[in-house]
DNA sequence: ATATTTACATACACTAGTGTATGTATAATA
DNA sequence: TATTATACATACACTAGTGTATGTAAATAT
């Protein structure tokens, strides 16, 4: 019954895909390796052969997509960029489109959003938090840059701005995940980016103390 | 060892409080009745005497606070209101303050936000979704009203507006829950309401088709 | 061609959690 | 005061899940 190396890789991918699907539906902690195995059409032994435990499987799933997420998140941070706000708009559009059109990408987001607030120390690995914090830092840099280039008011609180961007982005994705039929994410992308920018332009002024 | 009626009510409340704390930290499905019981200083028997199972305990927790949430959510929806936008601002401020200052209220929000996207049918009861949907509908009404009173542009997409309000509110609360030391929620309440209103005023126009 | 890994499947031991059944001191009641 | 119902605690039976140990056919190395 020994499989060839290619076959082994196929089952490994199948486990990863099934894990991604189930994790995104039920959350990581309430999905058993048993269920993943049976839905992937393999035995639990296969899962334990490819991955040490549930969290290593989770790490494998994350690392398969983290490169793409990093790439997207970092796109607008270059200090030399002459139109940082334009870059930011592109990034947001890109995120919207990807989330709307690619299920696996959407599921990764869903897991991250869902798992982010769990507090059991043994459970959620540090990697998720790092991932989010990094992309937040990227956006602060982009906004600072846009301020210097005169694209945003000089008294904008960039940290608050970056947070609001994240929040609205996450919120919109969550809402779309909750009710995909409600509206077309890609179509509304323009309007939503406008909404974010109007917040940046008209609110979130720094407070003096 | 039989307790007096008052004592029984005290243990019941103690179980509810402990359940609220643990559910908000770990999520409902990954918190055991064993842990709740021991942390509440009672036996599992006590929990099973007061509540049929975990989800009935959860219902009890929800119903203890849903009145307050309903009250808050419904505050700005009166059609006869002459200043609906002002009411909405008050509501948002009130929510911010409550979430910032009252731990139990904050924990309820945390549970709702966390549990909202779980998909195991046996698990999350319909009540949470109903709760959120109702308050969304309230906000749509408030915005419609504000439009008629000339407080908002006539081509505002009120449904999108209501969603954005929810998303930003939830996002901000989530962010505050994630990092309470980061900033004072109550203090930033003003600025955040401003941000929301600027979105309503300058974006989210209805699309023609 | 033989030896050795590999890629699993199966079986086992263990734990955590659930729900229920039973025991019991005592508050409430008649 | 005797009886009954209450408010639990404890014990038990059961299930689901984990991790590990072992078996094994076939791919691969020698």
Q: Where are the alpha helices (DSSP H) in chain B?
A: 5-26, 33-40, 44-50, 54-74, 84-101, 103-115, 126-148, 158-178, 185-202
**What is the pLDDT, as a whole number, of residue B8?**
97
Q: Which of residues 2-61 of A touch strand C (CB under 7 A)?
A: 2-3, 5, 7-8, 11-12, 42-46, 48-50
Judged by a CB distance cut-off of 8 A, whether residue B178 touches chain A is: yes
Residues B144-172, mean pLDDT to the nearest whole number: 86
Cα–Cα nearest to A55, from A4, A113, A122: A122
Distance CA B144, CA A138 (A): 38
E strand or H helix at A154: none
DSSP B182: G
Residue-wise pLDDT for B58-72, tens only, equals 989 988 877 776 666
Please check whether strand D approaches the CB of A39 to within 7 Å.
no
Q: Residues 6 or more apart from A23 whose CB is under 8 A from it?
A: A31, A58, A61, A107, A111
CB contact (8 A) between residue B29 and residue A25: no
Distance CA B157, CA A209 (A): 37
B75 against A1, higher pLDDT: A1
Kindly tell me if the per-residue pLDDT of A12 is higher than 80: yes
Measured CA distances, B150 to A46, B72, B82, B86, B145 (Å): 64, 24, 11, 13, 9
Chain B touched by A194 (CB under 8 Å): yes
Predicted confidence band of residue A179 (pLDDT cuts 50, 70, 90): low
Mean per-residue pLDDT, B139-146: 90
**Facing residue for B117 by CB, picked from A114, A120, A198:** A114
Considering only residues 89 to 148 of chain B, which have any Cβ-Cβ distance to chain A shorter than 8 Å?
110, 113-114, 116-120, 123
For residues B35 and B19, is the Cβ–Cβ distance under 8 A? no
**Residue A178, CA distances (Å) to B91, B117, B178, B194, B199 in order:** 25, 7, 22, 27, 22
A124 confidence band (pLDDT: 50, 70, 90): low
The Cα A96–Cα A98 span in angstroms is 6
Distance from CA of A102 to the nearest CA of B (A): 19
Q: Is the pLDDT of residue B198 over 80?
A: yes
């Amino acid at each position: 019954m020994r499989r060839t190396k290619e076959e082994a890789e196929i089952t490994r991918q199948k486990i990863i895909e099934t894990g991604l699907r189930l994790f995104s539906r039920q959350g990581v902690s309430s999905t058993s390796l048993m269920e993943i195995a049976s839905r992937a059409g393999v035995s639990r032994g296969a899962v334990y052969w490819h991955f040490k435990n549930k969290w290593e499987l989770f790490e494998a799933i994350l690392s398969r997509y983290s490169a793409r997420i990093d790439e997207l998140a970092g796109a607008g941070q270059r200090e030399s960029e002459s139109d940082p706000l334009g870059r930011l708009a592109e990034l947001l559009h890109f995120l919207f489109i990807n989330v709307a059109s690619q299920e696996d990408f959407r599921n990764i987001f869903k897991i991250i959003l869902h798992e982010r607030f769990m507090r059991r120390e043994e459970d959620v690995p540090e990697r998720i938090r790092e991932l989010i914090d990094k992309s937040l830092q990227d956006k602060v840099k982009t906004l600072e840059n846009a301020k210097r280039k005169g694209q945003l008011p000089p008294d904008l609180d960039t940290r608050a701005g970056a947070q609001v961007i994240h929040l609205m982005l996450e919120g919109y994705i969550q809402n779309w995940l909750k009710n995909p039929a409600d509206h077309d994410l890609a179509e509304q992308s323009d309007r939503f980016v406008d909404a974010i920018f109007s917040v940046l332009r008209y609110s979130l002024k720094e407070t003096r103390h």
